[in-house]
Amino acid sequence: MRAIKFFIRAGIAFLWVVIFMSLLYSSQLYEFFRSQKSITIAAWGDVFDPVLLAEFQKKTGIKINLSYYSSNEELLVKLKKTGGKGFDLIVPSDYAVQLLQDQQLLKKINRSKLNFFPDLNPILLGHDFDPHNEYSIPWLWEIFGVGVDAKMFADTQKRDPWKLIFSNPLNTYSITMVNDPLEMIMLASLYLFDNAHKLDSQQLVAVQELLRKQKTYVKAYVDFRADYFLATRNCAAVVSSSSYILRAQRKFPHIAFLVPEKTFVTIENCALSVATKEEEKVYELLNFLYQPKNVLSHCEQFALFPGTLSALRLLADNSQQKKLASMSMQRFSQLLFFKKQIDQIDLIKIWALVKS
């Protein structure tokens, strides 16, 4: 009887020790089990198809945790705060790759682990933000332009798209403008000075004045779903990336997309967090995602341009998406990248004056 009591008491004591140790090291245990079974991705909301991620999870047993962000700046803050811990794969836009690398938040990519690298579109490689693509792999890309209500402008194709956005002195129609201060200032600079280089003090004043005047006919400043304002006919023109307008055109034939002579391109890239311990699992996921049929699936669903040549060939030849992608490739050398070329103080100052 005493032996039984002894074992019961020992068992209870052991249980309390287990509970105490579990509470003490809960975060470490969580990280251990998370790393054994999962990958955490930080990404925009429209660059990965959940159906394909579920297929990968079912095939490999590796769970995919998605953490969304709404701007590159938000991604930078998240990674700086944690030192990259808690994230394995991230999807920064072009200029953000350099900002993240400057903060030593990215891990070098082992190309020998990637079976698709020769299939990457060469025009998307070797740019200033990562000259040797040591830290980033192009995934999807798009260009900026102006979506318009074609029924409101009879001569749509003859109009200067940027003039529609920046010159409306009689306020005869409403527009939406981007909500990112860097993009806003660089677009205004391109219109005023035909370039988007670093601005001097006088040019910054001119940009500020242009944006202040523009505000009188801006219905909303939005980074996402500018197409909604066209679809509902609340605005006659919107600044938007090509993917949103191409998707809207599938349902609303009155929407047209105008591509200026000079405009911006943005490349969404796959990169590894410096703190990831799941490189092998990430490489396995990337090799799955970059299969031609899977890249094509993402492009067709989100109306983005593919980062690989094989997926580009698979796009329907008569689709507006392929026509626009091919045209953009032909004039790629004329396209511009958004770059952090404005002092943060000037950026905040102009942003505050425009939005106040």
Cα dist from 283 to 117, 237, 288, 329, whole Å: 12, 42, 9, 28
Q: Based on the fold, state whether residues 74 and 196 are members of the same structural domain.
A: no
Q: Based on the fold, state whether residues 160 and 234 are members of the same structural domain.
A: yes
Domain that holds residue 80: 39-140+268-319
**Domain membership flag for residue 107:** yes
Number of residues assigned to the chain: 356
Q: Based on the fold, state whether residues 240 and 303 are members of the same structural domain.
A: no
- Residue 175, classed as helix, strand or coil, is strand
- Residue 90, classed as helix, strand or coil, is strand
Place of tokens 């105490």: 20
pTM of the model: 0.85
For the chain, the domain total comes to 2
Q: Based on the fold, state whether residues 52 and 133 are members of the same structural domain.
A: yes
Q: Based on the fold, state whether residues 194 and 283 are members of the same structural domain.
A: no
Q: Based on the fold, state whether residues 88 and 112 are members of the same structural domain.
A: yes
pLDDT by 10s per residue, the chain, length 356: 555 555 556 556 565 655 555 545 444 444 444 445 899 999 988 899 999 999 999 999 999 999 998 888 889 999 999 999 999 999 999 999 999 999 999 999 999 999 999 999 999 999 999 999 999 999 999 999 999 999 888 776 677 999 999 999 899 999 999 988 889 999 999 999 988 778 888 999 999 999 999 999 999 999 888 999 999 999 999 999 999 999 999 999 999 999 999 999 999 999 999 999 999 999 999 999 999 999 999 999 999 999 999 999 999 998 999 999 999 999 999 999 998 777 778 888 888 888 78
Do the Cβ atoms of 149 and 175 come closer than 8 Å? no
Q: Based on the fold, state whether residues 72 and 86 are members of the same structural domain.
A: yes
CATH number of the domain bearing residue 225 = 3.40.190.10
- As a whole number of angstroms, the distance between CA 343 and CA 114 comes to 38
The dihedral sign for the CA sequence 221, 249, 298, 306: negative
**Domain membership flag for residue 163:** yes
Q: Based on the fold, state whether residues 255 and 279 are members of the same structural domain.
A: no
Q: Based on the fold, state whether residues 251 and 307 are members of the same structural domain.
A: no
